Amino acid sequence: MSLGYFITGTDTNAGKTWATIALMRYFKKLGKVVVGMKPVAAGCELNNRNEDALLIQANASVHVPYELINSYAYEQPVSPHIAGINNPVEFSKIIDCYAALKEMADVVIVEGAGGWYAPLNAQQDISDLAKSLGLPVILVVGIKLGCINHAKLTYQAIKQSGLVCAGWLAVCVDADMLNTGENIDTIKHLLSAPLLGVLPHTPKTDFDLLAEQIHI
């Protein structure tokens, strides 16, 4: 039976894609066949393909058709419920793609869009998608000013949804952040879910280095 995780963040640009790729490489190093998925993406300039989704495709253990990884690729870099007004997100399509990916791998990492309550269509948001897939959630906390409040609010929302929070990752997105360690320690004491790793800020992204920081 394959494992699956849903990756959500405290906000847009919290480091979800860094975390997703690092997790994929972590499981690959354990000898697992790993694929990833970014079902909804906005800001798709490369022939209607998303840069993050292409990165997820490139880091899979096996070749995966792009359409399975990114079901909805919107050109405008705006909220999906606005970008997709003429082609709204339908969960059934995403669930079918996830089912196909499960047959291809031991581990499937699903990256959300924006934060936990980011709207995907007129009625549903990221939290609804996570519940539809029924996956344990890994919370990505972008370590920047305001992160303690954002982490606590998002964690409480995940718990209220009834889903399991398998843990959280601290992603150091701000190179100039003061008291990084103290902020991470504070969040660690506020959340009952385990800290799975601290991904440092590096001048050049090294996903193997980031994967080494993860411990599940």
Structure tokens at 93: 């399509």
* Burial of 39 per CB tally in 10 Å (0-12, 13-18, 19+): buried
Q: Find the catalytic residue in 38, 93, 144, 204.
A: 38
Give pairs for 42-46: CB < 8 Å, separation 24+. 42/74, 42/75, 42/76, 42/77, 42/78, 42/79, 42/80, 42/83, 42/113, 43/74, 43/75, 43/76, 43/77, 44/70, 44/73, 44/74, 44/75, 45/75
Helix (H, G, I), strand (E, B) or coil at 57: helix
**H-helix or E-strand spanning residue 110:** strand 107-115
Amino acid identity, position 156: Q
38 belongs to the catalytic site: yes
Contact assessment for residue 71 and residue 56, using Cβ atoms and an 8 Å cutoff: no
Chain-centroid distance of CA 5 in Å reads 9
Residue numbers annotated as active site: 38
